[in-house]
Structure 1
């Protein structure tokens, strides 16, 4: 871990990422990189350059991708990893993490998250405010789990899937890659085909 952290993206997701990083109290300084020339600071944190400037800071800074879009986050993080960037894991101090939980670089756990034992979280995941993930889950890379989502035990979420706010997944289920689960949806059977699913029970639209 380096003494400085740079967050790519200074808007909504980047702000919450910065808030987590500040509360971790592990970096002497935190800055943003953002391509909007009209944004000079966010949350009182300076925007020090554009995303294309990232490679100038590799030797001195940890780099974190604070972008909510799964596909964009994946593209940027994979490029950073290929170039040898040091990408941390961010964990809000109020998060509760069970035994034998594995977290991967570029993942952020927001305030109030609960992850129970023997769960694996992939690279570049967003586990948002108050989400709960029970035992023996597998969350693949670049998944976005929105605020208030509840996953029961032994659930697998495929790469790039987005679970909307307040959605629920029952136990022993698999959701394939690149799905969108609507706000408040309840998944009660395996989802094997990519697409958008809404309702109670969740159905493809």
Structure 2
């Protein structure tokens, strides 16, 4: 397989893949060269490189990750670290990354190209849209819905049944007790929407 991305997030994803026993042929990122954990960094993405290899886009920024995915011709795979607790009754989309120590409970549905970062918890019946990033230590209680491209900051908690809209941002440590609208920015305990980012 191959990775798109060579920065900080890619290091964690590559570590995850190597822990799974995956064979990673190369990382592609125009900002990096040399090797990372023994894997060659080959600069800009080469659409013709090992065309049957599967790819992951290991970029933390949701918008950038979506753009890179849309320009990637390789098929996609997912990564689940061996330390993860992932219910056999949960669903995982293509290109998603479930990283060290995360927990995903029964009937949770994880979309495509999602990051469930270190130690995050996704409880039963949550629905996570495509291109979401759950930062380290996030807690989603049961039946939470997260819209496409939303970013949930480190240590944030969302109580049961609440919705966070598409491309919204929830600040680190926030406690969400009311729905957050599309493109909303919510911070604090309890979380308050302080602005709406224009699409």
Aligned partner of 2:81 in structure 1 is: 92
Task: Give the drift of 1:58.
Answer: 4.9
Residue-by-residue CA offset, 1:42-65 (whole Å, 9 max, x unaligned): 2332112312x1x11252421111
> Post-superposition, which runs of at least 4 consecutive aligned residues in structure 1 deviate over 6 A?
none
Q: 2:99 aligns with which of 102, 107, 110?
A: 110
The answer as to whether partners of 1:11 and 1:42 remain within 8 angstroms in 2 is no
The answer as to whether partners of 1:9 and 1:34 remain within 8 angstroms in 2 is yes
- Residues 60-79 of structure 1 correspond to what in structure 2 (within 5 A)? 60-79=52-71
The answer as to whether partners of 1:58 and 1:86 remain within 8 angstroms in 2 is no
Matched, 1:19 2:8: no
Q: 1:160 aligns with which of 145, 149, 171?
A: 149
Paired residues, what number?
194
Matched, 1:125 2:114: yes
The answer as to whether partners of 2:165 and 2:184 remain within 8 angstroms in 1 is no
Task: Give the drift of 1:89.
Answer: 0.8
Work out the CA distance in 1 between the residues paired with 2:88 and 2:31.
Answer: 41
Work out the CA distance in 2 between the residues paired with 1:21 and 1:30.
Answer: 11
Normalization by structure 2: what TM-score? Answer: 0.93
Task: Give the drift of 1:193.
Answer: 4.1
Whose helix proportion is higher, 1 or 2?
1
Normalization by structure 1: what TM-score? Answer: 0.90
Residue-by-residue CA offset, 1:91-118 (whole Å, 9 max, x unaligned): 0001001132110111000010100000
Work out the CA distance in 2 between the residues paired with 1:171 and 1:58.
Answer: 44
Aligned partner of 1:203 in structure 2 is: 192
Matched, 1:45 2:45: no
Aligned partner of 2:29 in structure 1 is: 34
